[in-house]
Amino acid sequence: MRRFFDPMNFAALGFALSLLVAWQLLADMHLISPIFFPSPLRALAVLQHRLADGSLWLPLAATSLRMSIGWLAASVIGVVLGAAIGSSRFARDLLDPTLEFIRPLPASAVIPVAILFLGLSNAMSVTVIAFGAIWPVLLASVHGFSSVNWPMCRRCSTLAEPASCARSRSPPRCPTSSPACASASPSRLFLRW
């Protein structure tokens, strides 16, 4: 584990501060357009003004709500589709090339198509957020459900309900695949923010 007072930490902080100072100087000398690239001090002043008059909180709440709904939709759809694809060898063989082709597509590339079909609306925003957040959940769910030991599940379901199955009260495949499904979901929440 690196120490907090590591010289590299100070070098990284110094580099970031020097970029901010250079940005401010370029903006003060009008070498960059203040319309498209406002100075850091101007941005901080506007932020302070919006915090003081309260006009920041309503848009922030609306954005947080859209992000949460998109993340939740991506999580639910990703686990359900991942379970369906991961449980069937035929579905994996059929859909894996398509999923691997679409997965690296950035969410911003879907915006024009989403605007075309959904217009400039909250549904469009939620759809784009869900598209960007679904891939780790979907692929982790496919992996989790495809790695289930099916003979063990059949044995568990045919035996007189051993203790491990009785505790879960769910299909035997869910407890074995849930770590893979759950691991991708929380990380995407903060990446979408």
Are 123 and 48 in a shared domain?
no
**For residue 8, what are the CA distances in angstroms to 4, 35, 191?**
10, 35, 25
Are 134 and 171 in a shared domain?
yes
Task: Evaluate whether residue 2 is within a structural domain.
Answer: no
Are 95 and 13 in a shared domain?
no
Are 120 and 171 in a shared domain?
yes
Binning the chain into helix, strand and coil, the percentages to the nearest 5 are 80, 0, 20
pLDDT in the model for residue 192:
47
Phi-psi region of 161 (alpha: psi -120 to 50; beta: other; left: phi over 0): left
**Residue-number span of the structural domain to which 30 is assigned:** 7-53
pLDDT in the model for residue 35:
83
Q: What is the pLDDT of residues 81-125, one digit of tens each?
A: 999 998 888 988 899 888 888 888 888 888 999 999 999 999 999
pTM of the model: 0.66
Are 65 and 157 in a shared domain?
yes
Task: Evaluate whether residue 31 is within a structural domain.
Answer: yes
Q: Name residues whose C-beta falls within 8 Å of residue 184's C-beta, 6 or more positions apart in sequence.
A: 78, 136, 137, 139, 140, 141
Total of domains in the chain: 2
Phi-psi region of 149 (alpha: psi -120 to 50; beta: other; left: phi over 0): beta
pLDDT in the model for residue 193:
46
